Structure 1
Amino acid sequence: MEEVALKDLDTRLQKQIENARKAVDKNPTYAVDILTNIVSRNHACLDARKILRQAQQRATKGKTKGLGGLLSKVTSLPFSMSSDAKIKKNPQKAMDSAEQILNSNPDNVTGHKILGAAAEELELYSTAVFAYEAVRQLEPSNSENIKALMGVYIKTGNSEEAIRIGEAAYRANPADDEVQSLIKKASVEQTMEKGKWEEDKSFREKLKDEDESQKLEQAGRAKTGDAGLRALIEEAKRGVAETPENMNFYREIASNYRKLGEYDNALEWVAKARELEAGRADVNLERLVGTLKREKMQKAIAEVEARLEGNPEDAAAIAELERLRTEERTFRLEQCEDLVQRYPNEYGYRYELGELYFEDGETDKAIKELQMAQRSPKVRVGALILLGKAYLAKGFHDLAAEQLTTAKSEIPGMTDQKKDVLYQLGSAYEQQGDMDKAMVEFKALYGADISYRDVAQKIDDFYSK
């Protein structure tokens, strides 16, 4: 299935969508009803879906806090990320279910995940990007979502964006070999695009590095199923028996257990690797322990969420879910604080800690870490953006505008990140009362993406005055 642009729809539908867009601000519930019906009959129209998301945000504003918000987060329709077979069997129905979830709470991560998975099944990769980007905004440290997002960015030909978010994920988890493989794949795609290599050349010829090619091919085979992964594990165990000091075998075993979701086994083999002479000084193995523990917690959370989908009124499961989420959050924060204390000049850790503080409302602590994180070229732009948002949260609009203006100048092209900066910068000027400067940013965003958040409504309101 191919994506369909708004302009390619029937003119009557275009008119309905335009009327719904105009109603987003004053009557968002009406807009949600109209647009939900339209996207259910036009699954491939991403533009309509983006406007629907704006309407959902407006319609539910302030209604998803407290217990209601919790129930909204754990309540979903027949589809879940644990029911891949259902999504594959009827992806259109899965997309409709996802939108019903998001009608109740547009910040529901499960809803966005279902939408992304179903869109991928239909080869609607731009829609999948839209869904997974929403998850990234809500759960920026969700590594599985980052990898899914990288995959669809590569499929849409946006290898540059895949590399950018992949490098950020790699800094957070240097031991994640799947992220490394995706970065390499995106780099190859980017090189092929720039070099305009002939289609009849083989993948192996284009890589040049025979050894690297074999590694990537082996990784690809390992993803074909549990049986393939277990075969690789047994092969690596035989390697350990023959050459017990070879760290690569231990890494491969741990990595494949991780792909199987068997985190205790993965941790066991990482511990064995750290007992070796070479492993004692391997900082990446130390970091991998923390990553595996965190992913184990995330798996437990997903299992409880799946239980709640079958029985959303289960009070014990709701309480367990809150406990697991609190434990996972506390673990991440403590781990990051420890890493910053031990590696004060690793600014990627400071950036991640700043993100966590900002999400927890510890704005002053976040500002301190983000100011230092700017020193690293790798996380500088992200730190500038988040610092601008932190200043906005404190009401320091002029300071926010300074950071966001700098960030804007350092982002080439019109990426999703650039759109976010334009919107935040316009908001900073708007809150200062400087509508002339605000409209410069909003117009630039409007010209690039009319359906981005509520920018169309802002432009309409400005000209109507």
Structure 2
Amino acid sequence: MALFGKKKSDDTAEAPAEDAQQPVADPAKAAPFFDRAGTVHETSNYEYAVTLWLQGLARDPTSVPGLEGLADSAQALIATRNKFGPTKDQEKAARDIKAPAPVRRLILALLNWSTRPLDVSAGLKALEAAGKIPGVDTAKCAYWIGQRVLSAAARDPKIKKDALVRMMNVLKDAGAFDLAVRAGEAALGLDPSDRQLDAEVRNLSAQATMSTGGYEHTGEEGGFRANIRDAEAQRALEEQDRIVKTEDVVERVVANAKADYESRPDDPAAIRKYARALLERGTPADEKTAHDLLIGAYERTKEYAFRQAAGDIKLRQARRKLALLRAAAESGDAQAKDQFAKAARAVLKMEAEEYADRVKNYPTDLALKFELGKRYFELGRLEDAIEMFQAARREPKRRAECLAYLGEAFLRLGWQTEAIDTLREALAAHTNEQDEIGRGLRYALMSALEGQARESRDLAAAEEAAKIASGIAVEQLSFRDIREKRTVLQGLVKELRAESAA
């Protein structure tokens, strides 16, 4: 049997020189990444959360809670994007992780599989990679992966016998004999005439019977001892992993999460899982229970991620009430419009306070500063917004958007020169001047140039502003008030030309 931890010569041969060090499992080094991943997940930044879980697993590839967190964030990302597979940024981040070659191969395989959870081939690659990390006992993780890959195979109507036999062999090598038997039996179901396979499955069944314990004793004689054979427990695992859940499934998921929480009420993973299950069901009583659960966890542990998740619930409730007021306001009722405007500002203030608290607790998180900057901008707190956007623009992904907000903020403050310089930089960073964002940036630059032209009687600025207005009008005449702006700027150019000729 190929045991976990047995060193393979080809692993060493493929590893780059800088990755030649012996793999190790270091839970202490992984913990900050896992904690951060949980926090980021609660902000709905699932793409970055996936990367953080992977960074933690690179430091501790034996962590089952790390795998569980990765699966949760990846599943949420899939639901948000309505698309399977990793993003380009995630692929690059995973390739850039510094780790021994066998661990890097596992991380890349986990990224591919977690974002394609129904892809049996991707799951098998992750399972195989888990078995090829020398000196590290990844058996628990392999079993966890194996359960889910087997569940995906059972739901795949196009599954081939060869894939099931491959799965059987990988699971056998992992010592997960009970799962290997199930894979083998499924393969036999597709080809009952294969006598050799039948004999191998019977042998595996005997080995599974002789394994009398659970995988908490991995490394001791007997292999995995306490394997999850119970059909109800397996169904619970499968239902938890489903992207779309029926009402009865949601009820069972909540019940299972609650039972898990009650069995280990101080475990952060159990608290998060129970809260997420409650929010997925989403009744008012569920939201209150989840909020109280998270606040209680924060007060006991002082782990800010719980406080942040509780804040998200309050924001969600406030936005939902605002949506109802918006619907009434759109009916044309003047009183409803006034109520909506007041409520919208109150929600905006609430969001600003919430994000300010998060920035205080996570001062290096540029994404939070960007979100706080947007709220300050909408509230008219322009100098506070500028401070946030100037910090947040260090993040490459948001640089163009931050520069756009900065330019608009300078423009509203009447700082024409700063607005013009910043908006030119934003346009250079955005690259596509003709999409909606590009047109918005050009419109803002046009306005800043108009302001400079009027203030300084600057003909060149007026001519550039008029040229931008004409360009936008040619592309999309209905864009904002560009038709009127074009006429006004043409008049300003004539006026300034007359002045210069006088």
Normalised by the size of structure 1, how large is the TM-score? 0.49
Higher-RCO chain (CA-CA 8 Å, sequence separation at least 6): 1
Normalised by the size of structure 2, how large is the TM-score? 0.45
Which structure has the greater CA radius of gyration? Answer: 2
